[in-house]
Structure 1
Amino acid sequence: MKKLILFSAIILLASAFSSCVVLSPKKYKALLARQDSLNTGWSGSQLSNEELQNAISRLQRDTANLSGKLNELNGKYNEIDGNYAKLRTNSSSEINKLSEDLKKREQRLKEVEDVLRKRDEASNQLKEKLQEALLGFTKSGLTVEMKDGKVYVSLTDKLLFPSGSIVIDEKGKQALAQLAKVLKEQPEIFIAVEGHTDSQKINNLGQIKDNWDLSVLRSTSVVRYLTEVEKVPGIRLTATGKGEFQPLGSNANAESRSKNRRIEIVLSPKLDELYNLIKK
């Protein structure tokens, strides 16, 4: 552009000389002013051009940075998309697995419920048989009831033993004989014999030191009678003594203490089937 301006000035001068026209001072000043204006415009255009070049460079750098960030974001998006796809696949597999596990548990629960129902039915039948077989002893303090799927036959000490004794009397033997008939017909029943006492201290009973001794010895007397005399298999029986620590009453008076002195025969059906289900 500078060359253009110089060329224009030369043409103007050439024209002036070629025409042999003598410029007046006014026209000469106008020409100089015109030249200064052109020079100023050239300088301004040069400055604007520089600024544009700088702006272009900045835009190119920004574009390159944005392009890099866009590529990075695309990479992260692809990674997230891949993880999401995997998660959906895994979630579907996990949901299917959980659904199968739930079905298996529901089936096991149904099987357990069936076993418990059969147990309760068997216990109720046993209770009815025992109530019928032992009906004649209910007035002597014998009771039969069912709790938690087990049948409890409770015999007061006056039905089985003389006062302070561990030797079963004749009436007690009759009750145990009737009980044994039913038990021998029910080979799948476990038999736990528990001795209980009141809280009164033991005095002058020779080898019997305290209520623990009395409860255990009375329990073992019943077990021996059932196994040795009535031939109930010993493998089905256990003998335990609870002493005074599981009373039915308060021990505050003679009547309550009489209820606490008892033998409880706890009958429970075998639960092998239930245990096998639980272990699965």
Structure 2
Amino acid sequence: MNKFNRFSFDEHADTEGTWAISYGDMVTLLLSFFVLYFSTDFDGKKKEQVESGVVAIFEGGEYSQRLKGKFHKENIEKDLKLSKTVVKKMDTGEIFIFFPNVSFFKSGKVNISKEAKQALNKIYEAYMPYASHYKLKIEAFTDDVPVRKGHRFKDNVELSVFRSLSVMRNLEKRGIPSHRISLGGKGVFNQELVKIINKADDISDERKKALSRTVAFVLERES
């Protein structure tokens, strides 16, 4: 007998789950990095670099997309079809995240749409590594159509608050602790937000109505 026949190789061996080992190692390394980072007194420049990394993750940077491509193949096409995320670091140090083409709600409603749930999944995955040092503020809006008399909600501000609450409940179910989330009902979508989201100050009424049915997410770094 050929000596090489003493060893056999099972071509049908179950190797489908082996990626989980590498993934577990990667998560351990990431956690170790964040523990090291947040326990070290970095200078301002290095802290700025890491905060830029936070922005890149929410924008769907190349590295985060590679992770999605490897570990979430079934979702990557849906994730990438989401409209470009507006991510801006404000002068106050807050990080502002907005999905300009994702309609979270129907007019006058508080139920979250299917496409909005995809956006919330992206928020959850990107936020959790930073949850210990960033609080997540949810700000919902309404269009300029007044709430009808006798409606479930007293006015547009109350409607926007309940929209924020719906988003919060969804993120809680995904695993974000409620004490890391704060709510803000802004009422009617205003011109100040138009300037943050759009390059042009003036947009059509139709576009403004569409924007008013989305949600802003604000990351507030704790000192």
What TM bracket, shorter-length normalisation? 0.5 to 0.7
Instruction: Flag the structure with larger Rg.
Output: 1
Q: Is the 8 A contact 1:197 1:260 kept in 2?
A: yes
Q: Is the 8 A contact 2:104 2:213 kept in 1?
A: no
Q: Is the 8 A contact 2:83 2:99 kept in 1?
A: no
Identity of aligned residues (%): 26
**After TM superposition, where is structure 1 displaced by more than 4 Å over at least 4 residues in a row?**
249-252
Gapped regions of structure 2 (runs ≥ 5): 1-40, 65-78, 195-201
1:203 aligns with 2:148: yes
- How far the C-alpha of 1:160 sits from its partner, in A, is 1.6
| Partner residue of 1:143 out of 79, 86, 105 | 86
- How far the C-alpha of 1:158 sits from its partner, in A, is 4.8
Question: For residues 191 and 177 of structure 1, what CA distance do their matches in structure 2 show?
Answer: 14
Q: What TM-score do you get using the length of structure 1 for normalisation? A: 0.49
Question: For residues 221 and 260 of structure 1, what CA distance do their matches in structure 2 show?
Answer: 16
Q: How does 1:141-220 map to 2 (within 5 A)?
A: 142-148=85-91, 149-156=93-100, 158-187=102-131, 188-203=133-148, 206-220=151-165
- How far the C-alpha of 1:204 sits from its partner, in A, is 6.9
1:266 aligns with 2:209: no
Q: What SS does structure 2 have at the residue aligned with 1:240?
A: strand
RMSD between superposed Cα atoms in Å: 2.8
- How far the C-alpha of 1:118 sits from its partner, in A, is 4.5
Q: What SS does structure 1 have at the residue aligned with 2:108?
A: coil
Structure 1 residues 204, 146: CA separation in 2 closer, same or farther (over 3 Å shift)?
same
Gapped regions of structure 1 (runs ≥ 5): 1-111, 272-280
- How far the C-alpha of 1:181 sits from its partner, in A, is 1.0
Structure 1 residues 165, 119: CA separation in 2 closer, same or farther (over 3 Å shift)?
farther
Structure 1 residues 189, 199: CA separation in 2 closer, same or farther (over 3 Å shift)?
same
Q: What TM-score do you get using the length of structure 2 for normalisation? A: 0.60
- How far the C-alpha of 1:144 sits from its partner, in A, is 1.9
The alignment of Structure 1 onto Structure 2 pairs a total of residues equal to: 156
Q: Is the 8 A contact 1:119 1:269 kept in 2?
A: no
Question: For residues 207 and 170 of structure 1, what CA distance do their matches in structure 2 show?
Answer: 23
**1:210-238 Cα shifts (integer Å, max 9, x gaps):** 210111011111111111x2111111110
Higher helix share: 1
Question: For residues 101 and 108 of structure 2, what CA distance do their matches in structure 1 show?
Answer: 9
Which residue does the alignment assign to 2:171? 226
- How far the C-alpha of 1:175 sits from its partner, in A, is 1.1
Letter in 2 for 1:264: A
Letter in 1 for 2:137: A
Question: For residues 163 and 156 of structure 1, what CA distance do their matches in structure 2 show?
Answer: 16
Q: How does 1:41-190 map to 2 (within 5 A)?
A: 114-115=43-44, 117-132=45-60, 135-138=80-83, 142-148=85-91, 149-156=93-100, 158-187=102-131, 188-190=133-135
